[in-house]
A and B are shown apart, each in its own frame.
Chain A
Amino acid sequence: MKEVIAVIRVNRINQTKKALLDAGFPSFTGLKAMGRGRKSVDFQVMEAMEQSGSLSETPDILTTIGQGGRLIPKRYLSIAVPDERVKKLVDILIKTNRTKEAGDGKIFVLPLNNVHRVRTGESGETALDEMAV
C-alpha cells in the first residue's frame, strides 16, 4: 500500500475531487496548507516588471529576484491506495492539476505499512476503500 500526498492549487480542488471520484478514488483527507516552492519570487518586483514588459524579454531573471520566500495557500491531499493503483492516481492528479506554470504543485508517493478500519477493526488491503468503476 502507498500513501499518495499531493500539494495542489486551491482553485483546482473541486476539479480534482470530481476527477478522483469519477476514477474510483472516493476517499481522501484534505488539509489547507501554505507552501512555497523552489522558485520564490518577489511579487511586487514581478508585477512591476510585467507592466513594463521586461519580463517577457528576460524570463531567466525570475530566479534571481527571489526574496525571503512568500507563502502561497495550497491544498494538501493524502490518499491511501493499493500499490497497483498508484500509477493511475498519479496520472489523474497530474492531468487535472497541470497548467504547465510553476506552482502547480508536487506529488509524493510514500510507503504505507498498514491500514486499519476503525469501524470493523479489519486491517491490511481489505481496509482500504475500493470502488470499482
Chain B
Amino acid sequence: MMMIKAIVRPEKANNVMKALFDAGYPAVTKIDVAGRGKQRGLKLGEVVYDELPKVLLIVVVPDNDKNYVVKSVIDSAKSGSKGSFGDGKIFVSEVEEVYTISSGIKEEEAA
C-alpha cells in the first residue's frame, strides 16, 4: 500500500475530496496545516506572509492505483489550466501494514 499525502490550497480541498470520491477513493483524512514553499511565503508589498494556510489530505491506496490517484489529485488541485505557485505538493510513501480497527484484521493489497 502507498500513503499519498497531498498539501493543497484550502479552497481546492473540497474539489480534491470530490474528485477522490468520484474516482472511488472515499477514505481520506484531512488536516489543516500551515506552511511555506520555495517561494518563501507570500510577499505583498511590505507585508510578508511566512506561513500560508493549506490543507493536508492523506489517502492510502494499493500500489497499483498510486499513479491514478496522484493524477486525480493533481488535476483537481491545480488552479487554472496551467497551475500556479502555491498549488501544493504531493508526497508518496510506502505503508508496510494496514489494520482496520473495527474488525481488528490486517488489510491486504486488494482493500
Chain A residues in the interface with B (C-beta under 8 A): 2, 6-8, 31-40, 66, 68-69, 71, 74, 76, 86, 90, 93-94, 97-111
Contact = CB atoms under 8 A, between A and B. Distances in A.
A97 B27 CA distance: 19
29 contacts: A33-B29, A35-B27, A35-B28, A38-B26, A66-B26, A69-B18, A69-B21, A71-B30, A76-B29, A90-B99, A97-B101, A98-B102, A100-B102, A100-B103, A101-B102, A102-B102, A103-B102, A105-B101, A105-B102, A106-B27, A106-B98, A106-B99, A106-B101, A108-B97, A109-B96, A109-B97, A109-B98, A110-B93, A111-B96
Interface string B99-111: 1111110000000
B4 to A, nearest CB: 12
B91 to A, nearest CB: 12
Interface residues of B, number: 24
B60 A106 contact: yes
Contacts of A2: 96
A95 to B, nearest CB: 8
A82 to B, nearest CB: 14
B28 A36 contact: yes
Interface of B: 1, 3, 17-18, 21, 26-31, 60, 93-104
A37 to B, nearest CB: 5
Nearest to A7: B29
A39 B28 CA distance: 11
Contacts, number: 89
B48 to A, nearest CB: 26
B26 A37 contact: yes
